[in-house]
Structure 1
């Protein structure tokens, strides 16, 4: 007999089951997923924000010990019994996708409830008291005993009792976490304090959401002082930037008085973060961000040297207070939907890598201990996706573009600050030279007048000598001494730089000397292998299978020989003797030294040296440094990804007369991309570089060396070969020197 299909279907339905969860899953989702208790507590604060609360109060009761309590209460709209069941007790649920805005129009910031679960699990017992604005005549209480839940076979086996009681509390919600499993450490409280302090400030306008706490329990007499922005007035620079919803970018930098220093376009910002390189076609200079939400970026940068404040403002800044304030709030913080997102800007989270970049180069870059900033994001489409553990955002394209925007703005501001300081330094050097010359002239004149009086009085100073002359020589000598001290002070920073470079040079010479012998040995052994293989194997087979590898080994060994020889040649002792240097001879010698290096890079070099045997009173090493750095600069330009297919360098010298005095001009042209996305003055500034890993010091050394010779330098964006043209002009002399070879020629290297 056939079975009744209806009965069969009934048995199938009776066999259905549901997924059940062991209590251990609560530990996995709560305590282990959210690593720090402050992050869980902050999630309760966010829930209060989503409930349209204007105030949220946090109380710590004996929280430093096991068994203490944490109480979080708010004056939001509270919860009905249905909302308690469908929202609060449903882990992993969120109203955000279906209802992104609260009743008052706030953008919801709460997520899946895992942070809330982590906070509730801090204690063994939880009591929730809530009174809804929708049902003000009733108040609900809910108790959770975690020990009972943890001992159950499954979570759903333990019923949670919801009681309605006559209302005695205000509309809102109060969550009491009792019998803490572990007391909050000092680090936990400090993290929580910082998170609460920065949740809505100190950078934002007046907030409609206020946090209250019992200061004594937090270990502070008053934390409200850290929330204010009164210390921002002492910032030396203020950087502000905007990222538009359409992907457009801009930035501006102002000084302590609010004066505009400079503005940047999207092209300027991208050029800055690329170290001055011209953006490639794939990442065009005006490329708009397509994924990032709109944002506003502000960064205040401080100088914590008290003497600097006196010189800048003629007033003493409260440096200890500013340092303490920056220790609490320093760093760049990210605000999303009006609230700060952790961990961005935390002491151990340098998410923009500003400390790393400052350590690599430039005291003009800010770091987290001398700057404070906020990146305020307007993200109505929720392009930024929070991580499950609430520790920031998923590293998607939107977040990557947002971070790139902030980094590029900081880098651009650092370059502008460096340019300003370098211009000031150059102006100071000019003034110092002029003042020194004036002081020397006054001293010489006063000394001459006194000597004449001494001669008239037969070497004696009697009652008839001119006291004014003596006073004048004393005054001018003091002025001269003071001016020399200023020059020495101005040169101290340069001295540190050149000491560092000297250390690099010394180390390089040691390594070069030690590398010569292995390079020679490799070349010798490769030739031996080639010779022996040809004896044992058919030469045609050798050429086909082994010759390419052997040739590559020998080419590499020759290159190693070049690199070993180059620093040793540059550091020869006699090149540091003061003499009359023939510029043409040094140019030819340097080209010979660089010949293999340039040939390996397929760079064709021509020269036209016509210095007319003029010489410069200086050190050969100084002229060699100028020529070498100019050549290396051209090599970098030619070997960049956006360099031309034809790699050419042309070196030329010419003599000319300026104000009846002989001069010599050195010109270096190349066929690279030229000077782009930077001014022709900016390329000489210390730290400016067009390549990753560059020091930005090569052309600065040229500029300073030329300045020491009372010469001048110039850059032209595009010369005859299409690339940059760099010129150096030096005062020369016709003083005879040892005979030189014929340098009045045209030739090729």
Structure 2
């Protein structure tokens, strides 16, 4: 007696839900089939997308399929009829699909699928079949549902149409926008600018005998047209510079920096070899400042909008985009982390757009089964390492150039100062008598001495804040790295709980709870430097004082619990707004709170109920912020000296906290008063800031 394996229809549903959970991703998978069929265009239409019973049609002008190809290829799941390493018959493209799983997952988006195809090899013939998923759900095994392939005569040209009906999920405007972006970026939108972006020193690629006209997918919606208009514009010539890495077949790499015209200004061979498929990495970097765009035809807002849609580093394997690279919040090359570690002349995902063109004919890069990214194998690691080294090399070159310019600028200023002194000496000698000249010289010397003292003071402040910036950058880097093991701790805790027998779950949860509490506190410590260094917090504008302080107090709750300290915040009943940056106000509040924490930890001081009170109000003239504690007050140092850098009563303290508070309040055009001891039992700091209405004369 013999038998064979059978599959329950449930496996079809599970594959559809787990492989392609999003509608936009499923449609893109079907569009890729058109590319593999040597299509030049693919049109996508949506009907009744918000009805809960909508339909989608994907129509391409590819070479189509014969009845035999439908039976032995399209209807066979888990195996594709595309031979490994083989190119498409007409345009010699590298096929994108390989297992047919993505197609199955996409077809499961609705209740019914209708396939209509006209093969180029059989003019005048049309084949069609349909899949009714409701019939499969009634069946015991997949093989019980018979599929008929109909053959008819036609006058229509070759191509394929797939219509998915009965889509229960509502296709929202957000989904349509995501789909539009995915389709626009699917076939390399940079390619149309390749001739414009190339330079004479780069070798052109050899073309096949039949030139591939390219592939484009069009979503027939207004959202697509609007986005297409944005993406279709070229602002590459507005880039300040361009970084390029070219990896050759022998593993050697060439790094380049080009100017806005595409001319090479720096070029070097990498010092190492890389075991990855050949690729070319280009990154266009923009300086988004008013000064940079003052002499250009493009506006700063236009380029910002363009980068918002196209920005990021996109990956194209043999001409087709591999998601999620270059998508929202995807920074697989670590541009932002590199910028945090060394902000000098480093691009971020908000100020650059890039492309990696990969020739993956050897198959060393393997896409995941769900088609979202590559498997993190050795070849992919080498690709990222090569791109990272190119970025680091470019940063070193650009930093050296900037230092040379800075030194040249210093020398130029010295020469101008010397010339100005000489000119002044000549004018004085010519226009003043010797007796009058002495008085003038004395006045000038007095002015010079006062200026030198001011310069010395500024140099000291510069050294202080360089030290603080270094400490802050190190903290931010460590905070970013600590986030990874924190995530592992969460997963490990969940795994451990599953191993504990049911009867011991209560005891285990009590112990695990303490670990999770400690993990939450550690996470709070980690988040502080990342929050303070956030770019948007350094933008000058209207600050909601109550919201800013409330957010900071909330973030510090796990930390205050660690210090056994209760922080109470009593905001004013009305809105309070000042002009400045959130970073300044955050720095003031957190340094004063940390100052109280340290005061509670002093030797020979005990306080059973540690408390910190924060209040805000307006006295019609100024905005007032009061922070006080019951930590025993200021002792061991005069009130005048607490603002000096390095002055501290804590053994391991830096003495910088109150210095930052003082300078930050000055930058906000405010003042601060301190009461060393109050009835509450500690020091009180009262900050006075000018409200925003006064700054605008209202």
TM-score (norm 2): 0.59
CA contact (8 A) 1:93 1:113 kept: yes
Counterparts of residues 167-566 of structure 1 (less than 5 Å): 167-205=154-192, 208-218=213-223, 220-221=225-226, 223-228=228-233, 230-267=234-271, 286=272, 288-289=273-274, 291-310=275-294, 314-447=295-428, 449-452=430-433, 455=436, 498-502=464-468
Gaps of 5+ in 1: 1-11, 268-285, 460-469, 509-749
Q: Could you say if the C-alpha distance between residues 138 and 259 of structure 1 is closer, same or farther in structure 2, counting changes exceeding 3 Å?
A: closer
Structure 2 residue 28 is matched with structure 1 residue 42: yes
Cα distance in 2 for residues equivalent to 1:411 and 1:176: 49
For residue 163 of structure 2, give the secondary structure of its aligned residue in structure 1: strand
Query: Cα deviations across residues 298-329 of structure 1 (Å, max 9, x unaligned)?
Result: 1111111121233xxx4353211111111111
Choose 1 or 2 for highest CA Rg: 1
Query: Cα deviations across residues 571-600 of structure 1 (Å, max 9, x unaligned)?
Result: xxxxxxxxxxxxxxxxxxxxxxxxxxxxxx
Gaps of 5+ in 2: 195-211, 475-698
Query: Offset at 1:143?
Result: 1.7
Cα distance in 2 for residues equivalent to 1:430 and 1:293: 48
Structure 2 residue 44 is matched with structure 1 residue 78: no
Number of residue equivalences: 447
Counterpart of 2:98 in structure 1 is 111
Bigger CA drift: 202-211 or 378-387? 202-211
Counterpart of 2:677 in structure 1 is none
Query: Cα deviations across residues 233-271 of structure 1 (Å, max 9, x unaligned)?
Result: 11110112211111111111122244433212121xxxx
Counterpart of 1:128 in structure 2 is 115
CA contact (8 A) 1:64 1:183 kept: yes
CA contact (8 A) 2:243 2:257 kept: yes
Counterparts of residues 87-166 of structure 1 (less than 5 Å): 87-98=73-84, 100-104=86-90, 105-166=92-153
CA contact (8 A) 2:73 2:79 kept: yes
Query: Cα deviations across residues 434-492 of structure 1 (Å, max 9, x unaligned)?
Result: 21232233334434544429959xx9xxxxxxxxxx9xx9xxx9xx99xx99x99xx99
Bigger CA drift: 44-53 or 59-68? 59-68
Cα distance in 2 for residues equivalent to 1:70 and 1:364: 47
Query: Offset at 1:123?
Result: 1.3
Q: Could you say if the C-alpha distance between residues 507 and 362 of structure 1 is closer, same or farther in structure 2, counting changes exceeding 3 Å?
A: closer
Cα distance in 1 for residues equivalent to 2:18 and 2:160: 26
Cα distance in 1 for residues equivalent to 2:169 and 2:461: 56
Counterpart of 1:270 in structure 2 is none
Q: Could you say if the C-alpha distance between residues 397 and 18 of structure 1 is closer, same or farther in structure 2, counting changes exceeding 3 Å?
A: same
CA contact (8 A) 1:250 1:263 kept: yes
For residue 261 of structure 1, give the secondary structure of its aligned residue in structure 2: strand
For residue 19 of structure 1, give the secondary structure of its aligned residue in structure 2: coil
Cα distance in 1 for residues equivalent to 2:311 and 2:78: 34
Query: Offset at 1:366?
Result: 1.1
Cα distance in 2 for residues equivalent to 1:232 and 1:358: 22
For residue 309 of structure 1, give the secondary structure of its aligned residue in structure 2: coil
Counterpart of 1:550 in structure 2 is none
Q: Could you say if the C-alpha distance between residues 257 and 124 of structure 1 is closer, same or farther in structure 2, counting changes exceeding 3 Å?
A: same
Query: Offset at 1:147?
Result: 1.9
CA contact (8 A) 2:256 2:268 kept: yes
Cα distance in 2 for residues equivalent to 1:390 and 1:438: 67
Bigger RCO of structures 1 and 2 (CA < 8 A, at least 6 apart): 1
Aligned alpha-carbon RMSD (Å): 3.3
Query: Offset at 1:376?
Result: 0.8
Q: Could you say if the C-alpha distance between residues 203 and 213 of structure 1 is closer, same or farther in structure 2, counting changes exceeding 3 Å?
A: closer
Query: Cα deviations across residues 208-232 of structure 1 (Å, max 9, x unaligned)?
Result: 233242453536436144145x210
CA contact (8 A) 1:37 1:118 kept: no
For residue 165 of structure 2, give the secondary structure of its aligned residue in structure 1: strand
Q: Could you say if the C-alpha distance between residues 81 and 64 of structure 1 is closer, same or farther in structure 2, counting changes exceeding 3 Å?
A: same
